[in-house]
Amino acid sequence: MPSAVPVSSPQFRTQLLRKLKNLVPGHKVEFVEAVRSGIAFRLKDDRGRFRSNIVRIHRNAVHTLEATSLRRSICGAGVPPAGLPRGLSQ
């Protein structure tokens, strides 16, 4: 069984972008670079409003990039002033 790619790798970032594009179409992913370990991002809508708080992923497990896990991570980061994207609200 092949091991999962590290969270800090470009391959993981590409996989994450693809999954988020399917999960929340019409939203851009803005990566936060000031993270010691792992990866962090925020979702931004087409009007420039942040639609998620900072979501941090520290390690890659089997379920990390599944839709339910990503949805749980985004909702778990809290609700921003503009609200969560449609389909992700609790």
Supply the pLDDT for residue 89.
67
- Please check the confidence at residue 3 and state whether its pLDDT lies above 80: no
Global pTM reads 0.88
Render pLDDT for 19-57 as a digit per residue (tens, 0 to 9).
999 999 999 999 998 767 889 999 999 999 999 999 999
Render pLDDT for 46-90 as a digit per residue (tens, 0 to 9).
999 999 999 999 888 889 999 999 999 999 999 999 999 988 865
CB burial of 18-44 (b: ≥16 within 10 Å; e: otherwise) equals: ebbeebbeebbbeeeeebeeebbbbbb
Which tokens hold the place of 10?
Answer: 């470009």
Supply the pLDDT for residue 21.
95
